[in-house]
Amino acid sequence: MTLRAEETRRVLLLGGTGEARRLAEALAADPRYDVISSLAGRTADPGLPPGRTRIGGFGGPDGLAAWLRDERIGAVVDATHPFAALMTESAVLAAERTGVPLLVLRRPGWTEGPGDDWRRVPSLEAAAADLPGERVFLTTGRKNLAAFAGDARRWFLVRSVDPPEPPLPPRMETVLARGPFTVDEELALMREHAIDALVTKDSGSAMTSAKLTAARTLGVPVVMVDRPPAPDGVPIAATVEEAVAWLAHAG
């Protein structure tokens, strides 16, 4: 069956995650949707999803609302990272102002299991204030190191996709790498550097969970930074499949 142009719905997919990419892939061949994936432009080589893409901020909620109107967007899926709180807030406000249906696609967080030694904290600052260990593996992202910059006593191993941004801890080494990582790779890295504590944000991503298994195996404590709260009054999907189902019925 051929759909007429007015039956094709324009979808803005706010991306930067594996889920956003998989959703773009799932919708790419579906004639009901004309998907525009949006990336913040933070990574030098983002690896673009299939379909149309745009890169860069919208200029806050007002800019996004204007963009949604100009582009005649029929639905928005916010599939940004669970810690991308500003973009999510902006999407909620712009959706309210324009009446465009919004779904937040947010994978569940990680849960502690037998043998894990996790300490949950509300922020990076709280993580830095009560840090176990002397040789700490930081996987919190290249822009999230300021909280640890004043710690001259510990040694840090920082892993990020692009080079980390100052302010940085004085005693550190950087590993530039993009996941997914295997448990064996994580074990080797943590053993090589004699890591005795791991700090991570609760992203919930299967792509980066091997470090948690490695930490459990090595008896290394994990400082787990909790997510910002999900927005109120907005439907939330936990999986790409749920997002596909929502799009089929939304609006």
> Residues in the site for ligand NAP, rule: CB under 6 A?
14-17, 38-40, 42, 57-60, 63-64, 80-81, 83-87, 90, 141, 201
Q: What angle do CA 92, 123, 84 make, to 5 degrees?
A: 30
For ligand NAP, the closer of residues 60 and 163 by Cβ is 60
- What are the residues whose beta carbons fall under 8 Å from the beta carbon of 45, sequence distance 6 or more? none
Bridge partners of 77, per DSSP, are: 13, 103
For ligand NAP, the closer of residues 40 and 218 by Cβ is 40
Residue 82 beta carbon to ligand NAP: minimum distance, rounded to whole angstroms: 8
Residue 19 beta carbon to ligand NAP: minimum distance, rounded to whole angstroms: 10
**CB neighbour class for 37 (10 Å; exposed up to 12, middle 13-18, buried from 19):** buried
Residue 5 beta carbon to ligand NAP: minimum distance, rounded to whole angstroms: 26
For ligand NAP, the closer of residues 42 and 119 by Cβ is 42
For ligand NAP, the closer of residues 144 and 156 by Cβ is 144
For ligand NAP, the closer of residues 52 and 135 by Cβ is 52
Residue 209 beta carbon to ligand NAP: minimum distance, rounded to whole angstroms: 14
Distance CA 159, CA 176 (A): 6
Residue 36 beta carbon to ligand NAP: minimum distance, rounded to whole angstroms: 10
Neighbours of 59 (CB within 10 A): 12
DSSP string, 125-160: HHHHHT---SEEEEES-TT--GGGTT--SSEEEEEE
For ligand NAP, the closer of residues 85 and 187 by Cβ is 85
Distance CA 187, CA 31 (A): 45
Residue 160 beta carbon to ligand NAP: minimum distance, rounded to whole angstroms: 10
CA 112, 200, 216, 237 torsion-angle sign: positive
* Edge-first strand listing for the sheet containing 102-105: 52-55, 33-39, 9-14, 75-78, 102-105, 236-237
